[in-house]
Structure 1
Amino acid sequence: MTSTHESTGEAVEGSASLSFDQGIREAVPMPVDDLDPDLRLGPDSLVWKFYGDIRGVLGFQRLAGTENCIEQLGKAVEDHSVIFSDTLGRARRSGPPIMKTVYSEDPHKWGRTVRDFHKPIKGTISDGSRYHALNPELFYWAHATFVDQVLYITDTFIRRLSYDEKVQIFEEGKLWYQLYGVSARNQPQTYEEFLEYWDGMLDRFVPTKTITYATGYIRKGIPGPRQIPAPVWRVLSAPLNAFARTIVVGTLPPQMREVCGLEWDGRKEKSFQRFAKVMRALNPVFNKLPMRVLYLPWAREAWQRVGVDPRPLFNAPA
């Protein structure tokens, strides 16, 4: 993967991997409650501008997938989630509190709500070592995938970001993480460290049961409604499956494609890049859409609350 977008609070050259391994195996929750009550993101931030944009849905599989390719997080979902019986329901329940941590009038309340969801989530992985969802190394990894989503989706499907804008989004991501109230001991301190951290985490990807299940629709085809005969659905679903196997898979890091057994080649890469280029070219058109179309409800309500129209903001291409 070519990075478009890193904390070992005590990062020493060559020690980041060891620090992560030691920290993750402690499996100790480390909540933090002495937060500045005025700490929040706002309409002057790039995260506000781009995180709630409807085009973010193009990165749904990258976001959910990269999280769950790390064994401890994939096992936590397997042990404690209803993803195998109610995948969409889980997404509907977990997504809004995270959105509200960015966009609500009380981000601290929602950040702590997200954190406290994870208090009972603990267990062991294949080598017998323990995990805990509020261990800083594990919790930060989950957060890093959201920072990556803002960086990657914006730069790929909305408009090219300048280096300074990528740095700004990373720095805003550090503030965002503070709102959850979990120790930041493993958080990268600079954007360059984040890039190094991200690439190192990609190299840790394994085919967890969670991610293998969650990407099954790509390998096997999107399942159809029971009321539609299978031969009919094969015809109707052909364009949907083509989209999933080219555009959805195109958003994934190569390491994730490999562990999930997802086919990729030069032809698909060219098709994906053409699609991304067209999406970026259409950005001026998207920014003329009504707010109710362009932004997810939590973001739209926040912009309306502060009396700002975000469509003209931060639109100059890098």
Structure 2
Amino acid sequence: MQPLGPDSLTWRFFGDNRALLAGPRAGILQLMLPSLGQGVMEHSVFFSDTFGRLKRSAGPILNTVYGGSEAARTGKRVRDYHVNIKGDMPGGERYHALDPETYFWAHATFLDHLIYSTETFMRPLTDAEKQRIYEESKTWYAMYGVSDRAMPEDWPAFQVYWKRMLNERLSAHKSATYSVGYAKKGLPRPRQIPEGAWKVLSLPLNAVARFLTVGGLPPEARDVLGLRWSRADERRYQRFAELVRSLGDLWSVLPDVVKYSAPARKAFRRDGRPAPLPRP
């Protein structure tokens, strides 16, 4: 199967840095699936090196989209990182990171993040565009060389799957509650910043981190994790999103180093930029 290229909507939107405004939506939702959260808790350095782990994971995932002829090789390396991530759940049942249902859930959260961040901070998507992105996600998922038996057939079926997962399968696993701890208690002080300076800096940083993290989660996830979010919070979040969308014309003239992730910029130089899209 040929990897994704400049003719795909995924190329256009996934590496756009405005997607960062959705916060750690994908990562938190991943950890709320008990089998995936357990694997991270028992086999990852997530707890001791949270930001380092996220940084190391982001590059390979982006390169399964933007890697061109190397995308499948990168995807299989990502898959092979998970071969030995297995063990027992607290209830005694076995888990394995390469179980098709578990592995697809991780991919599903990236697909959701792509669509959510695009519609929230970039532009609306038509139903046809969402279906197209979903079909592209099948190509993306094929780069991993993992069974696709858990993948819904089309975009409407994926929406049913997504609602079922949010309403029936997710939990406040220890890995997930740890991942949102800073949204409740504040960010940890970096060692290189003096305590006095951090007391001043942490106030706005904690407010922004909580706003983007909690605001970027589905309401079902907020409820499970016990994250407070008022109607006033939601109104502020929607006004912020509307402001970001309204600056799209200004965003379009900024240099690529500002607008896109490094893997996306490298792919654009190698294979060409996506063609302009008509306004929806």
TM-score (norm 1): 0.84
- Whole-angstrom CA distance in 1 between matches of 2:35 and 2:245: 36
> Residue 109 of structure 1 corresponds to which residue in structure 2?
73
Letter in 2 for 1:183: S
1:228/1:94 CA distance change after superposition, 3 Å: closer
Does structure 2 conserve the Cα–Cα contact (< 8 Å) formed by 1:147 and 1:173? Answer: yes
Letter in 1 for 2:122: I
Does structure 2 conserve the Cα–Cα contact (< 8 Å) formed by 1:205 and 1:255? Answer: no
> Residue 31 of structure 2 corresponds to which residue in structure 1?
68
- Deviation of 1:173 after TM superposition, in Å, equals 0.6
Q: Number of paired residues?
A: 278
- Whole-angstrom CA distance in 1 between matches of 2:147 and 2:235: 42
> Residue 58 of structure 2 corresponds to which residue in structure 1?
95
Unaligned runs of at least 5 residues, structure 1? 1-35
- Deviation of 1:51 after TM superposition, in Å, equals 0.5
Q: Deviations over 1:219-259 (max 9, x none)?
A: 00112234545454333222222222223211101122122
Does structure 1 conserve the Cα–Cα contact (< 8 Å) formed by 2:6 and 2:272? Answer: no
- Whole-angstrom CA distance in 1 between matches of 2:55 and 2:206: 23
1:317/1:241 CA distance change after superposition, 3 Å: farther
Stretch deviating more after TM superposition (228-237 or 107-116): 228-237
- Whole-angstrom CA distance in 1 between matches of 2:58 and 2:197: 33
Q: Deviations over 1:107-138 (max 9, x none)?
A: 11011111111111111112211111111111
> Residue 20 of structure 1 corresponds to which residue in structure 2?
none
- Whole-angstrom CA distance in 1 between matches of 2:264 and 2:213: 24
Does structure 1 conserve the Cα–Cα contact (< 8 Å) formed by 2:39 and 2:87? Answer: yes
Structure (1 or 2) with the greater helix fraction = 2
> Residue 163 of structure 1 corresponds to which residue in structure 2?
127
- Whole-angstrom CA distance in 1 between matches of 2:279 and 2:176: 35
- Whole-angstrom CA distance in 1 between matches of 2:174 and 2:73: 33
Letter in 1 for 2:178: Y
- Whole-angstrom CA distance in 1 between matches of 2:182 and 2:18: 21
Does structure 2 conserve the Cα–Cα contact (< 8 Å) formed by 1:56 and 1:153? Answer: yes
- Whole-angstrom CA distance in 1 between matches of 2:149 and 2:230: 39
Q: Deviations over 1:269-304 (max 9, x none)?
A: 000000000011111111111111111101100001
1:228/1:291 CA distance change after superposition, 3 Å: closer
